[in-house]
Amino acid sequence: MRWAMSIEVPLPEGAEPSPSERDALEALLRAMVDLSHPDAGAWRATARRLEADGWQLRCRLGWIAEARRGRESEQAVGRSRDEAFEELLTLTELDQPAGHSA
Amino acid sequence: MTFSDVLRQRYRDELQALAEAGLLKQERTICSAQGAEIVVEFPEGAPHKHVVNLCSNNYLGLSSHPDVIDAAQQGLLNRGYGLSSVRFICGTQDLHHDLERRLTIFLGTEDSLLFPSCMDANAGVFEAVMGEADVLIADRLVHASIVDGMRLCKAQQDTYKHSDMAHLEEKLQFHQDKRARLIITDGVFSMDGDLARLDRIVELAQRYDAMVCVDDSHATGFIGRTGRGTHEHCGVLGRVDLITTTLGKALGGASGGCVSGRRELVEMCRQRARPYLFSNSVPPMIVAAALEVLKLVQAGTERRDKLEVNTRYWRRLLREAGFDVKPGESPIVPVMLYDARLAQLMARDLYDEGVYVVGFFFPVVPKGQARIRTQLSAAHERHHLDAAIEAFVKVGRKHAVLGKSRQELLELVGP
C-alpha cells in the first residue's frame, strides 16, 4: 500500500517530548489513521487469507516494551504498559547467564 | 548477499571483542579415551600431557567401561551404524523400545521417550505439553536448554528466585487463574552443585495444583540411594510428572536424552515435540551401550557409592587445605576464587601441574562468583585425588589463596 499523503503537525516552540512521549504520540496518530481509514492498507486481504486458512483473528492495540544490552535484546507485548514491562522483566530474568553451564 | 569483506570484518571484530573480554572458548584436544587420567594436547601442537581429569561429567566412570564399549560394538554389528530416518518413519528399532522401557523402570515413571540429547528434550517438551492458557514457572538458575525450550512454548513464562520456596509459592498463588501450571527446575544445579528442594516443590505443586518437571541430567545414575536421581534422594519417587535427563553424562557419556514421566505427557511429546519429530533416531550403538550402562547401574550401587566416598574425601581435602569450597553433597565441587583472572590463572597453573580443571567466570556464573569447578568420578582412585590436592595446594600457595575468605581473596587481586 502506498500512502498518498502525510500530515505534519508542528509541536509548540520549546516542547521537548521525551523518546517515550514521541513513541506514544506516533502510536496514537497511527492508531487514529488506522481507525479512521479502516479500508486502507493491505491488512484486509491478509486477514481474509489467514481466515481462509482457518485462523480466527483478533487485532488489538497494545504496548511494546524493549530492552537492549550489548548484543542482548528482549521484546514484550502487553495490553497495558504495566503488562508489557512485567513480561519484559520475566524475559530478562529467564535468561540471566548465571548458572547456565554445560 | 555474499560473504563480503564487510561481513567478514564484522565477524572478525566480534570475535576479537570476545577474545579481548577473555570470553573466547578454546577447545583442548584430548588424545585418549575419557577417564580419570587423560592425554591432552594444549595449546595446539604442544607435547601431549598426562593429566588428572577433574572436569568431566563422567560421574560413574562408565564412558570407557569395557562392557559398555563391547555393547556398543555389538549394537553396531547387529543393528548397523545409523537409521537414516527420524523415529516415526523408519527409525525405531527394538533397541529403542527396550531402552525406553528400561529407563521408565529405572526412573520410576510411567513412560519414556528418547531424544537426540537432553538439550533437545528440553527444547521440545514444554511446547508439546503446555499451551497459551498455561504457565511455566522456572527456577532462575535452570539450564540454558530449559530457557530455550520455554521460549519456544506459547505458555506464559515466569520464574522464581533460585530455590526460594516462598517465592515459588507466591508465583503459584498468582497464577491460579491459568489453565495449568508447570514448575520447572534442575535436579542438581550444575554450577553450584546444589540440589533442588524437590520434596518442598512437590508439596507446593500438590497444594496449588501444579505439575513438576525436573532436568536431572547431573543426577541420573548416582543421586539417591540407588542412583535414580533427585526425586529418589528427596523421597518423591513417582510424584514428579516429568523428568528430562541425559545419556551424555553418568550414563555412558556419549549422547542422547529422554523425557520420562506421566504416560499422557510422554505421548504428547511423541506426537508433538519437534526435536523428536524432526531429528534422526539415536544411533543403535549408543542405544545398545546405554542398555548395558543401565544394567551395570542397576546391578549394584558400588559405583555411585564410590563416587560418594570420593566426593566426601575430595571435599575434606580441599577444606583442610584452606580452600573456600561451596558446601553440598553432589560430586560437583566448586572451589571459590571470586575473581575471574585468578580463576583463569589458577586453572592454567593447575594444568601445568597435571590437573585438568576449568575456571568459570561471568557470564557463566554471576560477577564476583568466579570459581574452579571440580567434578568427581567413580573412576578416580585415591592416588588421583591425592595427586590433585598436592597440585591444588602448590598452586594455592603460589597465589596465596589458602585460608582466605571471600573478602580477603577479592582484596588480594585488587579492583
If you write DSSP's letter for every residue of B305-332 in order, what string do you get? HHHHHHHHHHHHHHHHHT--B---SSSE
Per-residue pLDDT of chain A (102 residues; tens, 9 = 90+): 556 778 888 889 999 999 988 988 899 999 999 999 888 888 999 999 999 999 999 999 999 999 998 888 999 999 999 999 999 998 888 876 544 455
What's the grid cell of residue A69?
A: 544490552
What is the residue whose three cell numbers read 514521541?
A22
Per-residue pLDDT of chain B (415 residues; tens, 9 = 90+): 689 999 999 999 999 998 887 778 888 999 999 999 999 999 889 999 999 999 999 999 999 999 999 999 999 999 999 999 999 999 999 999 999 999 999 999 999 999 999 999 999 999 999 999 999 999 999 998 999 999 999 999 999 999 999 999 999 999 999 999 999 999 999 989 999 999 999 999 999 999 999 999 999 999 999 999 999 999 999 999 999 999 999 999 999 999 999 999 999 999 999 999 999 999 999 999 999 999 999 999 999 999 999 999 999 999 999 999 999 999 999 999 999 889 999 999 999 999 999 999 887 888 889 999 999 999 999 999 999 999 999 999 999 999 999 888 888 876 6
- Whether B218 is catalytic is yes
Distance from CA of B44 to the nearest CA of A (A): 23
Q: What is the pLDDT, as a whole number, of residue A96?
A: 63
Q: What is the pLDDT, as a whole number, of residue A99?
A: 45
- Whether B190 is catalytic is yes
Rounded to 5 degrees, what angle do the CA atoms A81, A87, A89 make? 100
Distance from CA of A36 to the nearest CA of B (A): 32
Q: What is the pLDDT, as a whole number, of residue A100?
A: 47
CB neighbours of B146 closer than 8 A, spacing ≥ 6? B122, B138, B184, B186, B215
Mutate: best of B117, B118, B135, B141, partner A, most A CBs <10 A: B141
Separation in Å, CA A73 to CA A66, A69, A92, B129, B153:
7, 6, 9, 27, 19
Q: What is the pLDDT, as a whole number, of residue A70?
A: 83
Amino acid identity for residue B310 in this structure = N
Residue in B244, B165, B156, B241 with CA at minimum distance from that of residue B204 = B165
Q: Which residues of A touch B158 (CB under 8 A)?
A: 90
Mutate: best of B147, B164, B217, B358, partner A, most A CBs <10 A: B147
Q: Which residues of B touch A94 (CB under 8 A)?
A: 138, 140, 147, 150-151, 157, 159
What's the grid cell of residue B367?
A: 560477577
What's this model's pTM, rounded to 2 decimal places?
A: 0.92
Q: Check B369 against A98: CB less than 8 A apart.
A: yes
